[in-house]
Amino acid sequence: MEPDDKVTLRPLIKSVDMLLVQRWLGDDKATEYFSPYLRRNWLEEIEQDKGVHFIIDLKSGIPKMVKVFPVGLCTIREIMDDGSDGTLVILIGNHVHRRKGIGTEAIKQLIDYAFNNLGLHRVTSYIFHENYPSLRMHEKLGFRFEGRMLEKILKNGERHNIIIVSMLAKEWRNSRSI
Predicted pLDDT of residue 80: 92
Q: What pLDDT does 3 receive?
A: 44
Q: What is the band of 112 on the pLDDT scale with cuts at 50, 70, 90?
A: very high
The yes-or-no verdict on residue 83 having pLDDT over 50 is yes
Buried b (16+ CB within 10 A) or exposed e, 85-122: bbbbbbbbbeeebeebebbbbbbbebbebbbeeeebbb
Q: What is the pLDDT of residue 137?
A: 94
Mean pLDDT across 15-31: 92
Mean of pLDDT values over 22-33: 91
Record the pTM. Answer: 0.90
Whether pLDDT at 105 is above 50: yes
pLDDT in tens, 32-80: 888 888 888 898 999 998 999 999 999 876 666 778 899 999 999 999 9
Mean pLDDT of 92-118: 92
Residue 21 burial (10 A CB sphere; 0-12, 13-18, 19+): buried
What pLDDT is recorded for position 66?
72
pLDDT (0 to 100) of residue 39: 85
* pLDDT tens digits for range 116-165: 999 999 999 999 999 999 999 999 999 999 999 999 988 888 899 999 99
The whole-number pLDDT of residue 63 equals: 66
Q: Which helix (H) or strand (E) holds 26?
A: helix 14-26
Distance CA 68, CA 5 (A): 10
Pairing status of strand 67-77 against strand 85-92: antiparallel
Q: 6-176 is classed in which CATH architecture?
A: 3-Layer(aba) Sandwich (3.40)
* Bridge partners of residue 7, in order along the sequence: 58
Q: Where are the domains of the chain?
A: 6-176
